[in-house]
């Protein structure tokens, strides 16, 4: 569920950044559709992040994302029901498309890392 939520946010952000150039209705057959680019930003930029840590339900997840022009970079992490921390680092560019690197750490590995660092391990 949380992954669908994250990708939904990414998809909505991408769609909303181009809302000014997407027509609301399709033209009738034989008619030409003109799209106004007056409000189009050729180098859109945004940065957002969120972090959820609910001790009552055990839900823990976070995401950060930055867009500069056509390049989107970000990461998200989620603690899965078995205690495994899944972190996904991603980049999307027009040339290479969407690329992601996934890192998984078990609860035992996280506990050992926390003990060795004597501090929190879960960072964005």
Sequence spans of domains, the chain: 2-22+31-117
pTM score? 0.58
pLDDT tens for each residue of the chain, 124 residues long: 334 444 444 444 444 444 444 455 565 666 776 767 777 788 899 999 999 988 898 888 999 999 999 999 999 999 888 888 999 999 999 999 999 999 999 878 877 877 887 655 555 4
Say which residues have a Cβ less than 8 Å from residue 119's Cβ, sequence separation at least 6: none
Q: What is the pLDDT of residue 15?
A: 46
The continuous run of DSSP H or E covering 14 comes out as: helix 2-17
3-state secondary structure of 89: strand
């Amino acid at each position: 569920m949380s992954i669908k939520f994250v990708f939904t946010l990414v998809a909505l952000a991408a769609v909303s950044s181009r809302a000014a150039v997407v027509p609301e209705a399709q033209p009738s057959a034989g008619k030409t559709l003109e799209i106004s680019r007056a409000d189009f930003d050729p180098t859109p930029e945004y940065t957002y992040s969120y972090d959820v840590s609910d001790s009552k339900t055990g839900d823990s997840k976070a995401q950060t994302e930055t867009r500069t022009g056509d390049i989107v970079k970000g990461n998200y992490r989620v603690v899965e029901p078995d205690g495994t921390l899944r972190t996904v680092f991603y980049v999307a560019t027009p040339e290479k498309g969407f690329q992601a690197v996934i890192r998984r750490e078990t609860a035992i590995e996280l506990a050992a890392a926390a003990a060795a660092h004597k501090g929190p391990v879960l960072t964005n």
